[in-house]
A = this chain, B = another copy of it.
């Protein structure tokens, strides 16, 4: 029963942060919170099958979907993780016999990552759970609402991508400006 209301900023927000848009801050807060609770619920659904971290599951899902071994950096790009994190992740997957490193046939700097039968078995059991959880979570939204939702998220993501290519955003004024 708790925590099901929209997150809203306090009444003094506009006065305290003159350059900021309350609706944008609220949208951001609700976005992050919703993503977190959804991820937690998905995690709860697949945890009983195997203790796989979100990154480990996502990597296996990418490999399973690709249907062929992939270079390490391709997976890293999809997961938005650094090459060092990818190395660590591959170590974990190999230790559990869920994936293997193969030499790249033509470029000896690269490696190919292949999913094992065990890895495929586990991810094939998890994917229906993940999809069922997502399906249940969006039960309350109509088809049109879902499409609109995706469009809004994509618009947001496009904007953030542009921002990420430049300097970090700075506030217009650090302190409340004196009335002119």
The interface of chain A, by Cβ under 8 A from chain B, is 3-6, 10, 17, 19-21, 23-28, 30-42, 44-45, 48, 65, 80, 125, 127-141, 143, 145-161, 163-164, 168-172, 174
Copies of this chain, tallied across the complex: 2
Q: Which of B20, B36, B154 contacts A30 (CB 8 A)?
A: B154
- Shortest distance from the beta carbon of A10 to any chain B beta carbon, whole Å: 7
Closest B residue, CB atoms, query A142: B23
The answer on a CB contact under 8 Å between B6 and A134 is no
Given contacts A131-B20, A139-B159, contact A151 B6 (CB under 8 A): yes
Say whether A27 contacts B132, CB under 8 Å.
Answer: no
| Contact call B164/A44, Cβ cutoff below 8 A | yes
